[in-house]
Amino acid sequence: MPAADAANDEKARLVIRSCRRSNERFIQPKRLGFNNARSVAGASCLIWSRADRNACAAVIGSKNMAIRHEFEANSGYRFFKDGVSILLQAASRFRQGTIVTNKDLFHDFQRINNALQDMGAYDGERQGVSNLMTANHFPPHKGREFYKFLPERSLDYYKEGSFQFGSIQYYRSVEQQNSKDSMEGLSNLAIKTPRHLFGMSLASGYNFALFCGTSTLSRREQMSARFGPRIIRIANLQLFAQAVQSLLGAKKFYFNKVVYNDLKMFRIKTLKTVRLSRTEPPGNFDPQLIDEAIFDLLYVIAFFQVSS
């Protein structure tokens, strides 16, 4: 498939490329509404869409510090480092010197996420008002008590000492609708580097194991109706978490309040160099430019939306 070029559109230059190995195809700029959008402010954007074959993969870096990537149809590029992955679903670069407001970012990410939903990357939900977020939105929870509402059958498992911890992927696809969150682990990052502003939409949290509950019983009836009539209480969450960490072999644990949001957006600054393309003006996306430093940056920022 020949690469298309939307560079004639002055307001939004959608960078489109083809990958012969995987037959990547990209959504058209009009589907994003970029050609009519004042707020786009010169963004070059690419979103990965359908592919006829499953994946193309490559490994970059040295033997010890390898970043591996795979293309996933209708999802994006999955990057791996030491057995941990993040999924880059869309990436864009704003024109140098462009002033981009939070409102601009919201509209751009909204369009990109609508396109991702259209192509089946995830099912959208109404979860709450969207705000630009920082780490300050996620203070550590200082309480010690933890309650979990359960159906009768699950309580039997707990009585036997059987505890289940689901990953982000589990909660995105779990069959129980009351527990499902198809937007779990998704985030949109506005990354300001010394030269450019980048926008990236990604999914992460595949290496996080979650245990969900509440801090009080103030909505006991409502919670029981949703999750089950039985309730367990963990009196000292810190001690429980330490014990589980040791048993699971987890690197760390965190407990935070949960924040629901239609479109989780984070705005960050970095001195690191971010590149999506080897050419200027930007042309084809080169996944090998996502190196270890960029992987680490994305992973750390994405942590906030995973842990809370």
Partner 1 sequence: MKPTRFSIEEELRLVFEMPEDVPPPHVLIMKEKALLKHVEIIQ
Binding positions for partner 1, 120-149, rule CB under 8 A: 125-128, 141, 143, 146-147
Structural tokens at position 164: 């289940």
In the DSSP assignment, the letter for residue 243 is H
Among 18, 254, 284, 289, binds partner 1 (CB under 8 A): 254
Bridge partners of 201, per DSSP, are 90, 188
In whole angstroms, the minimum distance from the beta carbon of 231 to partner 1 comes to 4
CA–CA gap between residue 178 and residue 106 (Å, rounded): 28
Residues 6+ apart with CB under 8 A from 49: 24, 25, 26, 27, 74, 119
- Show contacts with partner 1 in window 258-287 (CB under 8 A): 258-260
| 208 lies in the site for partner 1, by CB under 8 A | yes
CA–CA gap between residue 68 and residue 59 (Å, rounded): 4
Query: Residue 193 in contact with residue 209, Cβ under 8 Å?
Result: no
Query: Residue 119 in contact with residue 74, Cβ under 8 Å?
Result: yes
- Using CB atoms within 10 A of its CB, is residue 97 exposed (0-12), middle (13-18) or buried (19+)? exposed
Among 7, 60, 132, 244, binds partner 1 (CB under 8 A): 244
Query: Among the candidate windows 3-11, 25-33, 88-96, 221-229, which touches partner 1 by CB under 8 A?
Result: 221-229
Verify cis geometry, omega within 30 degrees of 0, for the bond prior to 281.
yes
- Show contacts with partner 1 in window 153-172 (CB under 8 A): 155, 158-167, 169-170
In whole angstroms, the minimum distance from the beta carbon of 122 to partner 1 comes to 13
Q: What are phi and psi for residue 77, nearest 5 degrees?
A: -105, 125
Nearer to partner 1, 36 or 245 (CB): 245
Residues recorded for the chain? 308
In whole angstroms, the minimum distance from the beta carbon of 292 to partner 1 comes to 16
- Show contacts with partner 1 in window 84-103 (CB under 8 A): 84-85
Among 8, 10, 20, 83, binds partner 1 (CB under 8 A): 83
Query: Residue 304 in contact with residue 136, Cβ under 8 Å?
Result: no
Nearer to partner 1, 7 or 234 (CB): 234
| 257 lies in the site for partner 1, by CB under 8 A | yes
Nearer to partner 1, 100 or 241 (CB): 241
Max Cα-Cα span within the chain: 65
Nearer to partner 1, 149 or 285 (CB): 149
- Show contacts with partner 1 in window 12-71 (CB under 8 A): none
Nearer to partner 1, 14 or 290 (CB): 290
Nearer to partner 1, 58 or 248 (CB): 248
Nearer to partner 1, 98 or 216 (CB): 216
- The footprint of partner 1 on this chain (CB under 8 A) covers a number of residues equal to 79
CA–CA gap between residue 248 and residue 241 (Å, rounded): 10
